[in-house]
Chain A
Amino acid sequence: MSDKMADAMADPLLATRSLRKSFGGIVATDDLSLEVAAGEIHAVIGPNGAGKTTLVNLLSGLIKGDGGDIVFDGRAVSRLRPAARAHRGLARSFQITSIFADFSVLENVALAVQARSGHSFRFWRPTGDDQRLRGPAREVLARVGLADRAEILAGNLAHGEQRQLEIAMALATEPKMLLLDEPMAGMGIEESQRMIALLDELKADYTMLLIEHDMDAVFALADRITVLVYGRSIATGTPADIRANADVRDAYLGTSETG
């Protein structure tokens, strides 16, 4: 583990340096420096309003930071637009399910495949029978367990299936890293278990930044955990470190574990 930690510090896949973001008077991200090593699942936890979703929005480019840098895969990406960051290999999911509700499940994923297959200024050939899109899309659907739901309208999927579709769309962009914003949000116990199993399986192939409220999931999956409080990192370490950390217990875990 210590070797892995050393590697992480030497050459992280994703690093933020002194990242800052305020909304009006509210500081959502406060001088945040965070490093995610290639191959790890790095969980970010913290109470409501700690700035977790803001962090994912900053990393994926949906909002601009007030200061600081984001370095991904050796290059600064702070100034890149969301689409450009996706092309560099940063894929994300959304806390509030974000899919193309009036497309079929297969079309959702095929569109994500299309996004990484060169430009889309192609006006003539129908996509409906384009196996260069549909083939990879079906593979990804099979991987997340939605193969038999391919033709259904995405808006008609059950909530848990829509969360799986979110992951599928992220995977279809062939990312180097997944930014997962509460992938278990709103799920029942059984669905959560399935999602944990899926993420555990994906762990072999992808680096992940995982925002999650479900502490069982976090401690089951994460290699390292960063604890955010009021936009500031109060601790980073292995799950064991975090459990043992007195500050964290005071700020966050303590209340939920004694409760």
Chain B
Amino acid sequence: MISTMFGKPTAWTTTVLLVVFALMPFVAPAIGEAFYVDVFTRIMIWSIAAVGLNLILGYGGMVSFGHAAYIGIGGYTVAIFGFHDITNGFIQWPVALAISGLAALVFGAISLRTRGVYFIMITLAFAQMVFFLGVSADKYGSNDGLNVWNRSTFEVAGLDLSIDDNMTFYYVIFALLLLVIYVTRRIVNSRFGMVIQGARSNDTRLQTVGVPTYAYRLTAFVISGVICGLAGVLQANFEQFVSPDMMDWPRSGELMFMVIMGGMGSLFGPVLGATAFLILSEVLSGITIHWHLIFGPLLILLVLYVRGGLTGLIGKFERRPPGV
């Protein structure tokens, strides 16, 4: 499996980062930097999307350059429901995930008939289609975007499980991130996971031993789209705003960078990547407005010289007890 190829991030780094996530709502106000809570909320939302993309990019070898589309579809579904005064999360969220999945099914069904550069270009083209759909939707704010006046509501039997409180919402997102990582872990180690990794490694061989790989790759593509749709749902609720910008192609590129930077095909790598990417851009943009000039070369160096991204880098520095 690919995990043996790139080495795993040690339990240590993973644990530290998760503890930081878990404690941030308490730590940040204590050190007088309350806005870190917002930064880390965004990190966790992007982490969810990156874990979703990694399922096909890292494990499945499908280089989708259009996954921001599913983030956008998830977010816009919530915003449009809200626009029409439907705030019930039990309606909003499942429908948002279903539409993300459906879009991934249609786009994936066509894209997966191509390979290599063509696959990259066609996924990009579909995503830009969705982007322009957002731009041309005058009713829903077109370029200016759409406010989400109320977060999704969850009322069960008179009980109001509100996510209006930022602290509560933070931990809901944290829990969902853990859930997505766990589910992905089960998937990649399952029979299905072996098939999509086998298709990455040698698709022709897998077909000739009797696996019709297309259906499995498409299914993985859909799962990946749904996970990114979830990230979009969370983003729309957190920022209380959606705009076409959230699904423009640079967002797809950034998402790819997070995955590649963190370590493709490692379970926790995308989380590392999203964290490093967002913190680095936060810090560098505080130093100079030309921060992209520093950021770009850093990314290039990492991709060129560190095999397996941050996961590979950290793996080199941390010793691991045998068998773990």
The chain A residues found within 8 Å of chain B, CB to CB, are: 60, 62, 81-84, 86-87, 91-92, 94, 98-104, 107, 110-112, 114-116, 120-128, 130, 133, 153, 169-170, 172-173
Specify which chain B residues have a CB less than 8 angstroms from the CB of A94 in the assembled complex. 205
- A120→B194 contact, CB < 8 A: yes
- A128→B2 contact, CB < 8 A: no
CA distance A92 to B5 in the complex (A): 27
Chain B interface mostly: helix
CA distance A82 to B208 in the complex (A): 5
Specify which chain B residues have a CB less than 8 angstroms from the CB of A114 in the assembled complex. 191, 194-195, 211
A173 to nearest B CB, angstroms? 5
Closest 4 interchain pairs by CB?
A86-B210, A115-B210, A83-B212, A126-B189
Residue B204 CB within 8 A of the other chain = yes
- B202→A120 contact, CB < 8 A: no
The chain B residues found within 8 Å of chain A, CB to CB, are: 1-2, 4-5, 186-187, 189-195, 197-198, 201-202, 204-213, 216, 219
Specify which chain A residues have a CB less than 8 angstroms from the CB of B1 in the assembled complex. 102-104, 107
Given contacts A107-B194, A114-B191, A125-B191, contact A102 B201 (CB under 8 A): yes
CA distance A170 to B208 in the complex (A): 9
Specify which chain B residues have a CB less than 8 angstroms from the CB of A102 in the assembled complex. 1-2, 4-5, 201
- B216→A83 contact, CB < 8 A: no
CA distance A130 to B194 in the complex (A): 12
B165 to nearest A CB, angstroms? 34
A107 to nearest B CB, angstroms? 7
A61 to nearest B CB, angstroms? 8
Specify which chain B residues have a CB less than 8 angstroms from the CB of A101 in the assembled complex. 201-202
Specify which chain A residues have a CB less than 8 angstroms from the CB of B198 in the assembled complex. 100, 103, 111
- A122→B207 contact, CB < 8 A: no
- B211→A115 contact, CB < 8 A: yes
CA distance A57 to B165 in the complex (A): 62
A167 to nearest B CB, angstroms? 12
Among A98, A121, A123, point to the contact of B204 (Cβ < 8 A): A98
Query: For residue A113, which residue of chain B has the nearest CB?
Result: B209
Query: For residue A172, which residue of chain B has the nearest CB?
Result: B209
CA distance A103 to B202 in the complex (A): 10
Specify which chain B residues have a CB less than 8 angstroms from the CB of A100 in the assembled complex. 198, 201-202, 205-206
- B4→A83 contact, CB < 8 A: no
- A123→B190 contact, CB < 8 A: yes
A258 to nearest B CB, angstroms? 39
CA distance A130 to B193 in the complex (A): 14
Among A81, A170, A172, point to the contact of B207 (Cβ < 8 A): A81
CA distance A169 to B211 in the complex (A): 13
CA distance A112 to B213 in the complex (A): 13
Specify which chain A residues have a CB less than 8 angstroms from the CB of B195 in the assembled complex. 111, 114, 120
**Which of B1, B213, B219 gathers most chain A CB within 10 Å?**
B1
- B189→A60 contact, CB < 8 A: no
A87 to nearest B CB, angstroms? 5
B133 to nearest A CB, angstroms? 31
Specify which chain A residues have a CB less than 8 angstroms from the CB of B204 in the assembled complex. 62, 82, 98
B194 to nearest A CB, angstroms? 5
B307 to nearest A CB, angstroms? 13
Specify which chain A residues have a CB less than 8 angstroms from the CB of B219 in the assembled complex. 121
CA distance A15 to B204 in the complex (A): 24
Given contacts A98-B202, A103-B1, contact A120 B207 (CB under 8 A): no
CA distance A55 to B283 in the complex (A): 61
B266 to nearest A CB, angstroms? 13
- A83→B210 contact, CB < 8 A: yes
CA distance A125 to B193 in the complex (A): 10
Query: For residue A94, which residue of chain B has the nearest CB?
Result: B205
Known pairs A124-B187, A127-B193. 4 more at Cβ < 8 A?
A86-B208, A103-B201, A116-B209, A120-B216
- A112→B209 contact, CB < 8 A: yes
**Which of B193, B204, B212 gathers most chain A CB within 10 Å?**
B212
A1 to nearest B CB, angstroms? 33
CA distance A62 to B216 in the complex (A): 19
Among A86, A104, A107, A153, point to the contact of B209 (Cβ < 8 A): A86
A119 to nearest B CB, angstroms? 9
- A173→B209 contact, CB < 8 A: yes
